[in-house]
Amino acid sequence: MAQERESHREDVVGRANVEDTPELLAYYDELARHKAGALWTVANKIEPWEPKSQSVPVVWRYRDLRAHVLRSVELVTPEKAGRRVVYLNNPGRSDVAAAVGWIYGGLQVMNPGEVASAHRHSASAIRFIIEGSGAYTVVDGHKMTLGANDFVLTPNDTWHEHGVEATGSPCIWQDGLDIPFVNAMEANFYEVHPDLSQAVGYAVDDMTKTWGNAGLKPMGENWTKGYSPMFKYEWAPTYDALTRYAGCTDGSPFDGVLMEYLNPVTNGPVMQTLGASMQMLRPGEHTKAHRHTGSGLYHVAKGSGHSIINGRRYDWQEHDIFCVPSWAWHEHANGSDREDACLFCLSDLPVMRALGLYREQAFGDNGGMQPLL
Amino acid sequence: MAQERESHREDVVGRANVEDTPELLAYYDELARHKAGALWTVANKIEPWEPKSQSVPVVWRYRDLRAHVLRSVELVTPEKAGRRVVYLNNPGRSDVAAAVGWIYGGLQVMNPGEVASAHRHSASAIRFIIEGSGAYTVVDGHKMTLGANDFVLTPNDTWHEHGVEATGSPCIWQDGLDIPFVNAMEANFYEVHPDLSQAVGYAVDDMTKTWGNAGLKPMGENWTKGYSPMFKYEWAPTYDALTRYAGCTDGSPFDGVLMEYLNPVTNGPVMQTLGASMQMLRPGEHTKAHRHTGSGLYHVAKGSGHSIINGRRYDWQEHDIFCVPSWAWHEHANGSDREDACLFCLSDLPVMRALGLYREQAFGDNGGMQPLL
Amino acid sequence: MAQERESHREDVVGRANVEDTPELLAYYDELARHKAGALWTVANKIEPWEPKSQSVPVVWRYRDLRAHVLRSVELVTPEKAGRRVVYLNNPGRSDVAAAVGWIYGGLQVMNPGEVASAHRHSASAIRFIIEGSGAYTVVDGHKMTLGANDFVLTPNDTWHEHGVEATGSPCIWQDGLDIPFVNAMEANFYEVHPDLSQAVGYAVDDMTKTWGNAGLKPMGENWTKGYSPMFKYEWAPTYDALTRYAGCTDGSPFDGVLMEYLNPVTNGPVMQTLGASMQMLRPGEHTKAHRHTGSGLYHVAKGSGHSIINGRRYDWQEHDIFCVPSWAWHEHANGSDREDACLFCLSDLPVMRALGLYREQAFGDNGGMQPLL
Amino acid sequence: MAQERESHREDVVGRANVEDTPELLAYYDELARHKAGALWTVANKIEPWEPKSQSVPVVWRYRDLRAHVLRSVELVTPEKAGRRVVYLNNPGRSDVAAAVGWIYGGLQVMNPGEVASAHRHSASAIRFIIEGSGAYTVVDGHKMTLGANDFVLTPNDTWHEHGVEATGSPCIWQDGLDIPFVNAMEANFYEVHPDLSQAVGYAVDDMTKTWGNAGLKPMGENWTKGYSPMFKYEWAPTYDALTRYAGCTDGSPFDGVLMEYLNPVTNGPVMQTLGASMQMLRPGEHTKAHRHTGSGLYHVAKGSGHSIINGRRYDWQEHDIFCVPSWAWHEHANGSDREDACLFCLSDLPVMRALGLYREQAFGDNGGMQPLL
């Protein structure tokens, strides 16, 4: 048994630093029999000086993955696979199938005329369209049409199904979910729709037409659920907003011109466990480095450039996906002096903020930029 | 003295019904000497069965008032008059110079190149543009350009000044303020800007560009004041939103397709004491009647038609202004079978709602329509 | 007509200063025919430099009023009078029967075995017990027993009735309501209970036992109304709280040790239109002067002393009532060097705060104390 | 490699059910090289039908653990151990040293005159006193004295230190923290106080005296932090409140008479990640069974009885500790027909509720009671 004992001694005032003795080892064995232990044997482990993420930075290149995604169409049927998805498997998080932290990410493909069976779960999802025409999603009877760089919410416990119109083209999108988190919270339920598909009960795109109007509230509508009623967020008005805002802000030193997608009813995040933002890096912009708690999964919506994460450079171009682990230093650089670049980011910042766990730190040295390792 | 005594007896169980006697009259005199009175002499007056507004319904026809407004340019200078405004004087509320209830309304004119002196007050204002080009308003250093059917907020205690660019044309707009209310609350302060004018310190229209983006929050901006940071609300996106929303709602039986302007930070009304809404009456639409507490000052933004208020018909066309007093029955009819009509409404509903005083009642008889008196 | 014209000229830059001319007078007549007027004729009146309350400071001495209140028992029956109340009639507000600002105040008496008929209205009330035993109030079926310096809420639209147990003694209490305000808002409704009395449907004092526990929320209870579910606030725990808090605070320079009564569900005021507070003036304490918007009706719950309001001294002792008008300078002095004094204050501060109209100013000169006029 | 492959096939419509083929296995290898995988190989695992907690129900008997806790005084010094704590090690959660779910629990002992070194961390703690006199805690300069069944908060990022007065007796208390959760969130920071101890800067017990008064708000105090300013919650007023509330409620069928401790500023839970409640089981009461998401760590504050968790009976008496894992059926029974029993519960329900993950289900069969396994 001795080799299994934990040992995390630190010779620092205020930290546990107890050497093993025969008497203590016997005591530890006694405690174990009562389903107990001595805190000082694990205290330094469970109270670290600062967070050290289990995730590692990764760039998933779209040019690499696209062919594999398309190939799944030949390899499996939707009936057998449920959904044809290639998921992003962070080497540090493969035990929970996460792309980063507690966030699941995947690339899904669907052919014209196909539709997935309807289901619901406690996990919440954001479906970000990469390519193809005719994609749509039905959420609790509301049908949303989707184009490139649009995204749709399928919040916790909503019935949802994805499809591509017969008149469309093969569609690929990025799925982002909080599956690992909800599993960890021991709160995940799953249900297949009794009819495998749901009726559309409203005008197409009604939720965005109703709730997606700046400075205007639809009289008589009421919404008390924990997620946004504006199920679809479109690329065109987002890019327009960034452009307008860029004309009257200096932006953030760490993020350029960044806007968070919000729930128009609460002005909080689009869902309680997952947040989304779009940021514009202006031509030539290279931000300063900072780090914060919370994990981010980035999708390059426009342009190309690179990010420096914990001292290493990661290049990216349109539709590449990369991740920034919790408390990792990061800075972003637009690779073009003439075009802007836009990064979509899916994160668990709503969790960090709702629970008082958000912390942020600027990189003080070296003019705010990380030296490359 | 006897003729001055109050007498509000009602022969109803639970209501005061005390006849005067010499002994009681002597008692009343005694109480008066102690700055007191007997409640039963006034109880029925101060506890009415239901509200009876002091305001009367009025339509102010733009074709009548326009010439008078323009004539003020010849009659007074801005320096002497402060502002060249013709105010709307409800016959029942002339003691407080209100258009309806506790709301002040006026029509102001300004020539190209003119600018009013900057000032601030505890009252809050909404300036709704009727005609002319080149109008602008500066609020706490933020300059907003204004076109027809746009409106701008000048909230309580903000420095503000109105002007028309030298390259513009004569501009007429409607002012709406809560001056009577804030005076009644004994809370009105007034201050002339020490420099009579303020410097513009931000990009033009920055507040609307920053805050007026559906489903998007500008990262890093913070706003904690009680009023909307989106100082300007424009007509074009409003009309577009109404059109989109009309495509997916049945609308309200009483108001057609109605949207409330909101503060994008709180999702409450644009200001704490004044609310604004725009409603579309679809071609041929004639709403049902209801009544509610709170006063409304309507401006016909588009089209023509009529409203029935407390059983009388009031016709209106573009840019006419009319009022609906508190607890007055009202219904609206679009006069066209082919075009929609749009009504802008300024109201004190935020006060009613914030204080728990909002009540609403549908007109039950006659298929929900008022018989004409 | 000329003698009725308004004239409020001020020779100050930015203020209206237009002399009458025959042409202008004709213009004004023309505007009047269109239910309109020229703003510059009234602008200086309706935009004052600072609030000037219509209320005057008054002290109502309990030793003076008590006999008159008791005499009403002989003069009128509850059936005819509705309620036997002597109301406080501020000389500046007798048109609306207010004690100060928009607040009604009265002294009501009831004999053992009497009970008033049940009714409800849009106005909200606070009933503060002065003397007697056996008083109780029923609010929406909840019965509260009441002792000296306790108070009970009868919020807007709740059925309520007051009574005194047959085993009790004659009871006198102070009523405070927002009747003048709700009338001014044109939002007052009144209804007599169909049975003239309501059944008690809950354990006695249940609302205070359920909701009046510091730091504890009753699991499974839900409360969404705009007013406090803790209908009764008792004197003993209030005085205990002030004593405890006094042991660990310096207090306010203007108010000594002051605690606001709150709605335990929202942590806002007890009702949306009326607030209440209790403040302790420590032995020998004489506060500094300040002024703020909003009106206050004070009841001396304990001790004696004086207040200086707008430069004049007003002495008070236990159970006297006095008022402080909006924006009036005021400071309070405990008359004893050995005993504390406690002032209960009923106010419309919740209205001022909810609507963004609260302003406060300290008296800067003379060491913060007003010179006596 | 083949033996490591995941296999979670289910023969249910809408679930993944893909058999391995050589072609697919090659495809999986290819995906792995790109840090990706095929969702259908893990979908059924990461999307379970319902939560299955990793924790097991445990009762830690105080009579067993007390001697071991006291013995730690002889075995280690506070200087070397940091704190002399025996922690509760749930067999299913020993990898994260949790008592249940993501909650850490421990029993700490301190002798008169001892004081721990001051530190702070992102984890939040609740210290519940079991026995001894003279215990106190200092949190950000506020000193709280503590008796049996009182508890104190040491919220995230507050400097805190525990001690026992020299005039006291050996004290044992239960620590409850969210350490495992904050570690999982990759958001835990730890810091030793530079002086190893902090100065007391306020009157003793000031935070509870200031904020712990039912229906009263201390005027002039302001509190915007995410946790309760009422750092200490005492047993006497809690038991009194339960007794009063029991007199006017039927209670919950699942929990008897239960009150949640709350943050008096937000009326939310005492801290953002940890909640606390006290429930009274009336004499002879045996509740019905339900289950919900979220984990609970119970401490028997008074009396004795048993709980049935997932069909097995667990007896408990005063100061025993037991846990209920997420989504485990549970019901409680008071063992006495004459005395009430009280259970203190520490839980992560605030996390479940803040993130929309709370679900609850009543046990429908068998009259609402679980059959014993």
pLDDT in tens, D225-253: 999 999 999 999 999 999 999 999 999 99
Beta-bridged to residue A188, according to DSSP, are none
pLDDT on residue A6: 80
Q: With CB atoms and an 8 Å threshold, state whether C272 touches B354.
A: yes
Q: What percent of chain A is predicted at pLDDT more than 90? A: 94
Average pLDDT value for residue range A352-358: 98
How far is residue A150 from each of residues A296, A301, B230, D122, measured CA to CA in Å?
A: 19, 10, 25, 37
Q: CA-to-CA distance for A160 and D248, rounded, in angstroms?
A: 45
Q: With CB atoms and an 8 Å threshold, state whether D217 touches C267.
A: yes
How far is residue B175 from each of residues B93, B217, C18, C33, measured CA to CA in Å?
A: 17, 30, 21, 20
Q: Which residue of D lies nearest to A68 if distances are taken between CA atoms?
A: D31
For D217, the closest of C209, C259, C265 (CB atoms) is C259
For C85, the closest of B39, B187, B351 (CB atoms) is B39
Write out pLDDT tens, residues D157-166. Answer: 999 999 999 9
Mean pLDDT, chain D, whole residue set = 96
Q: Which residues of C touch D (CB under 8 A)?
A: 202-203, 205-206, 209-221, 228, 230, 233, 237-238, 241, 244-245, 247-249, 251-252, 255, 258-262, 264-267, 270, 277-279
pLDDT on residue B71: 96
Q: Which tokens is B259 given?
A: 């949207």
Q: With CB atoms and an 8 Å threshold, state whether B216 touches A238.
A: yes
State yes or no: pLDDT of A189 exceeds 50: yes
Q: With CB atoms and an 8 Å threshold, state whether D186 touches A326.
A: yes
Cβ neighbours of residue D126 under 8 Å, at least 6 residues apart?
A: D151, D152, D153, D154, D175, D176, D177, D270, D271, D274, D276, D346
Write out pLDDT tens, residues B15-38. Answer: 999 999 999 999 999 999 999 999
Q: How far is CA B272 from the centre of its chain?
A: 13
Domains and CATH numbers, chain A: 2-46 (no CATH), 61-211 (2.60.120.10), 232-368 (2.60.120.10)
Is there a contact between C274 and C344 (Cβ–Cβ < 8 Å)? no
The sheet carrying B125-131 orders its strands as: B232-233, B151-154, B125-131, B171-177, B104-110, B85-88, C36-38
> For the CA atoms of chain D, what is the radius of gyration?
23
Give contacts of A262 with chain B, Cβ < 8 Å: 215-217
Q: Which residues of D touch C (CB under 8 A)?
A: 202-203, 205-206, 209-221, 228, 230, 233, 237-238, 241, 244-245, 247-249, 251-252, 255, 258-262, 264-267, 270, 277-279
Give contacts of A172 with chain D, Cβ < 8 Å: none
Cβ neighbours of residue D296 under 8 Å, at least 6 residues apart?
A: D100, D323, D324, D345, D346, D347, D349
Q: With CB atoms and an 8 Å threshold, state whether C189 touches B35.
A: no
Write out pLDDT tens, residues D256-304. Answer: 999 999 999 999 999 999 999 999 999 999 999 999 999 999 999 999 9
Average pLDDT value for residue range B309-334: 98
D and A adjacent (3 or more CB pairs under 8 angstroms): yes
C and A adjacent (3 or more CB pairs under 8 angstroms): no
First to last CA, chain D: 41
- Cα angle vertex B166, ends B160, B168, to 5°? 90
pLDDT on residue C1: 38
State yes or no: pLDDT of B279 exceeds 60: yes
Residue C213 φ/ψ, nearest 5 degrees: -125, 115
Give contacts of D228 with chain C, Cβ < 8 Å: 215
State yes or no: pLDDT of D220 exceeds 60: yes
Cβ neighbours of residue C30 under 8 Å, at least 6 residues apart?
A: B68
Q: How confident is the model at residue B48 (pLDDT cuts 50, 70, 90)?
A: very high
Q: With CB atoms and an 8 Å threshold, state whether B259 touches A214.
A: no
State yes or no: pLDDT of A192 exceeds 80: yes
pLDDT on residue C176: 98
Mean pLDDT, chain B, whole residue set = 96
Residue type, D302: K
Average pLDDT value for residue range A23-50: 96
D and C adjacent (3 or more CB pairs under 8 angstroms): yes
Which of D8, D66, D186, D297 is the best mutation test for A, with the most CBs of A within 10 A? Answer: D186
State yes or no: pLDDT of B2 exceeds 80: no
Residue B29 φ/ψ, nearest 5 degrees: -65, -40
Q: CA-to-CA distance for A360 and B147, rounded, in angstroms?
A: 43
Which of A7, A186, A192 is the best mutation test for D, with the most CBs of D within 10 A? Answer: A186
Q: With CB atoms and an 8 Å threshold, state whether D34 touches A64.
A: yes
State yes or no: pLDDT of B1 exceeds 50: no
pLDDT on residue C78: 84
Cβ neighbours of residue A84 under 8 Å, at least 6 residues apart?
A: A69, A72, A73, A76, A78, A108, A109, A110, D39, D40
Which of D46, D177, D326 is the best mutation test for A, with the most CBs of A within 10 A? Answer: D46
State yes or no: pLDDT of B177 exceeds 90: yes
Q: CA-to-CA distance for B212 and B210, rounded, in angstroms?
A: 6
Give alpha helix (H) positions in chain D.
Answer: 22-33, 43-46, 62-75, 78-81, 179-184, 206-211, 235-246, 349-354
Write out pLDDT tens, residues A265-309. Answer: 999 999 999 999 999 999 999 999 999 999 999 999 999 999 999
Cβ neighbours of residue B132 under 8 Å, at least 6 residues apart?
A: B148, B164, B168, B169, B170, B171, B172
- Cα angle vertex C284, ends C281, C286, to 5°? 65
Cβ neighbours of residue A74 under 8 Å, at least 6 residues apart?
A: none
Residue type, A312: R
Could you tell me if residue B134 is left (phi over 0), alpha (psi between -120 and 50 degrees) or otherwise beta? left
Q: Give the closest residue to B50 by CA, choosing from A59, C187, A277, D78.
A: C187
What does each of the 373 residues of chain C score in pLDDT, given as a tens digit?
344 677 799 999 889 999 999 999 999 999 999 999 999 999 999 999 999 999 999 999 999 999 999 999 999 998 899 899 999 999 999 999 999 999 999 999 999 999 999 999 999 999 999 999 999 999 999 999 999 999 999 999 999 999 999 999 999 999 999 999 999 999 999 999 999 999 999 999 999 999 999 999 999 899 999 999 999 999 999 999 999 999 999 999 999 999 999 999 999 999 999 999 999 999 999 999 999 999 999 999 999 999 999 999 999 999 999 999 999 999 999 999 999 999 999 999 999 999 999 999 999 999 999 999 9
Q: With CB atoms and an 8 Å threshold, state whether B217 touches A259.
A: yes
Q: How confident is the model at residue A2 (pLDDT cuts 50, 70, 90)?
A: very low
Which of A145, A205, A217, A266 is the best mutation test for B, with the most CBs of B within 10 A? Answer: A217
Sign of CA dihedral A74, A77, A80, A85: positive
Q: Which residue of D lies nearest to A8 if distances are taken between CA atoms?
A: D81
pLDDT on residue B219: 93
Average pLDDT value for residue range A169-178: 98
Residue type, D124: S
Q: With CB atoms and an 8 Å threshold, state whether A210 touches B245.
A: yes
B-contacting chains (≥3 CB pairs under 8 Å): A, C
Q: Which residue of C lies nearest to B102 if distances are taken between CA atoms?
A: C185
Q: How confident is the model at residue B78 (pLDDT cuts 50, 70, 90)?
A: confident
Q: What percent of chain B is predicted at pLDDT more than 70? A: 99
Q: With CB atoms and an 8 Å threshold, state whether B259 touches A233.
A: no
ipTM of the modeled complex: 0.96
The secondary structure element, H or E, covering residue B257 is: strand B257-261
Q: CA-to-CA distance for C159 and D307, rounded, in angstroms?
A: 44
The secondary structure element, H or E, covering residue B274 is: none
Q: What percent of chain B is predicted at pLDDT more than 90? A: 94
Length of chain C equals: 373
Q: Which residue of D lies nearest to C216 if distances are taken between CA atoms?
A: D261
Q: How far is CA C358 from the centre of its chain?
A: 16
pLDDT on residue A4: 64
State yes or no: pLDDT of D131 exceeds 70: yes
Q: Which tokens is C210 given?
A: 């359920």
Q: What percent of chain D is predicted at pLDDT more than 70? A: 99
The one-character DSSP state at B74 is H
Which of A245, A258, A263 is the best mutation test for B, with the most CBs of B within 10 A? Answer: A245
Q: Which residue of C lies nearest to D203 if distances are taken between CA atoms?
A: C248
State yes or no: pLDDT of B174 exceeds 60: yes
State yes or no: pLDDT of B3 exceeds 70: no
Is there a contact between B250 and B233 (Cβ–Cβ < 8 Å)? no
Which of A213, A271, A347 is the best mutation test for B, with the most CBs of B within 10 A? Answer: A213
The Cα of C339 is separated from the nearest Cα of chain B by a number of Å equal to 30
Give contacts of C46 with chain B, Cβ < 8 Å: 96-97, 104, 179-180, 183
